[in-house]
Amino acid sequence: MNETDPYAGERLKKSPFYLRQEVLNIRNAWAAWNGYKFAEYYYDTEYEYFCVRNTCGTYDICPMQKYEIQGRDAEVMLNRMVTRDVTKIGLNRVAYCVWCTDDGRMIDDGTIFKLASDKFMLTCGSPCTAWLEKSAFGFADVTVTDVTDEIAALSLQGPTSCAVLKKMGLDGIDTAKPFDIMHFPFHGDTLMVSRTGFSGDLGYELWISPTVALDLWDQLYDAGENFGIQPYGEAATNMTRLEAAFIMPFMEFNEALRTVNFEHDQTPFELNLGWLVDFDKPHFSGRRALLEEQKRGPKYTLTKLDIEGNKPAEGSYIYKDKRCTREIGYVTSAMWSPSVKANIALAMIKTEHLEGELWAEIYYEKELRQYNRVVRCTRKQKPFWAPARARATPPPDF
């Protein structure tokens, strides 16, 4: 078919799970991510969101970029690239990392899986081959391989997720601590399970060869039948990650390598990710600039806001006063949180003004007419959603 399809070259790729997703995407709500056809939602965004908070849902992370970094120098190379100390990552452990330009501006964030002393997997939202190869330059024994298409991955998030994996027969999965990796034999292949995710709740990510991807899906959905399993798409993901106060590229940060205007990208300190920057380790990209920034303090600080009223503060400016005379920041993501029952937002606010009053000017539409309100914002220190079960080992069944 493809040989005769004159549009084959520009059609979206299909995930190894596509055959099952297609059946369940009742609304035909497709979007795209890294060249893959990707569900915006399957049935109903609100429903899917609540599955993640109430039962469990699966989110296709096949389009997420995956790189295998292998060789005697793999660890040093990664340690030179990311801001966190890679030598501290234990075997079969995962670490959340960011990497920056020499100016300390953030290129992307992602996770590093330590699979052997000389073998790592790095995952990230956007393709990163060029930067990885650049970072590997000069190291004698390290190879970088893009394995995005060789690994099918599915994120299973929500309070019943552990119960589903137990039901599926993954004995001992309940002993996995957050950021642990476990391996299980599966259809002649190996299923890798990491206790990671992007929902702020209890959850796991499943990694498998594409050849048995559909078997994994079927077995997972069979096991999950009585535990409220449901696929969810981009829309629900964005809701849950905001409640967990996780950052999203091109929402909270503009990838440094794709930024045109001066300082329209961000530093880890601005994004509240200073804890990921380890100055005690050897030199890494951006070290000098970040050290300076640490001394000086970031210009902006990503701030969690609880906002009066119930109208999402999407695209709002933040002001120092109710009369909106002094603009001090902007909202990056905003929503009404159905679980927290609060009007929440992440905002970049000029650090010097953090301690004072914060006001958001919110625009909203009502039957084609525009209205606006200026409402008070309160800073929150903790993520909006952080249930105890997300950290508990063994986790509860629901």
Partner 1 sequence: MSNYDAIVIGAGHNGLTNAAYLAKAGLNVVVLEKNEYIGGAAVSRELHEGWKYSNCSYVCSMMRQALHRDLDLGRHGLLLVPYLGTINFGDGDERLFSYHDEQAAHLELKRHSPHDADAMHRFQSDLTRYSQLIRKTLLRTPPDPTSLRPRDIMEFLYLAKQFWKLGEKEIYEYVRFFTMSAADFLDDYFENDLIKAAMASPGIIGTALGVYSPGSSYILLHHVMGDVDGSIGAWGLARGGMGAISAALAGAAQEHGAEIRTNAGVQQVLVKNGKAVGVVLENGDEVYARIVVSNLDAKRTFTRIMEKNDLPDGIYEKARNFKIRGSSGKVNIALSGMPKFSGVPENRYINRGGQGFTGSMETMERAYDCWKRGRWSDDPFVESVIPSAWDPTVAPPGQHWMSNFVQYCPPELADGPWTPEKRDQFGQTVIDKIERYSPGFSDLIVHMEVRTPHEIEQEIGLTEGNIFQGELTIDQLFFNRPFPGYGQYRMPVRNLYMCGSSTHPGGGVSSACGANAAREILIDLRRPNTVPEDDFYDE
What is the binding site for partner 1 (CB under 8 A)? 27, 43-44, 46-47, 50, 53-55, 159-160, 163, 167, 225-228, 308-311, 336, 338-342, 364, 366, 371, 373, 397-398
Q: Which is nearer to partner 1, 31 or 375 (CB)?
A: 375
C-beta of 230: minimal distance to partner 1 in Å? Answer: 9
Q: Which is nearer to partner 1, 163 or 277 (CB)?
A: 163
Q: Which is nearer to partner 1, 153 or 162 (CB)?
A: 162
Positive or negative: CA dihedral 178, 46, 344, 65: positive
C-beta of 43: minimal distance to partner 1 in Å? Answer: 6
Q: Which is nearer to partner 1, 44 or 118 (CB)?
A: 44
Q: Which is nearer to partner 1, 53 or 66 (CB)?
A: 53
C-beta of 41: minimal distance to partner 1 in Å? Answer: 11
C-beta of 25: minimal distance to partner 1 in Å? Answer: 13
C-beta of 305: minimal distance to partner 1 in Å? Answer: 14
C-beta of 32: minimal distance to partner 1 in Å? Answer: 22
Question: Would you say 198 and 155 are in contact if contact means Cβ atoms under 8 Å apart?
Answer: yes
Q: Which is nearer to partner 1, 179 or 364 (CB)?
A: 364
Residues with Cβ within 8 Å of 8's Cβ and at least 6 positions away in sequence, in order, are 2
Q: In what order do the strands lie in the sheet with 56-60?
A: 181-186, 189-194, 203-208, 152-157, 56-60, 229-231
Q: In the chain, what is the straight-line distance between the N-terminal and C-terminal CA atoms, in Å?
A: 46
Residue type, 70: Q
Q: How many CB atoms lie within 10 A of CB 298?
A: 19
For residue 49, what are its two tokens?
């969101």
Q: Which is nearer to partner 1, 82 or 236 (CB)?
A: 236
C-beta of 265: minimal distance to partner 1 in Å? Answer: 34
C-beta of 58: minimal distance to partner 1 in Å? Answer: 14
Q: Which is nearer to partner 1, 167 or 353 (CB)?
A: 167
Q: Which is nearer to partner 1, 117 or 226 (CB)?
A: 226
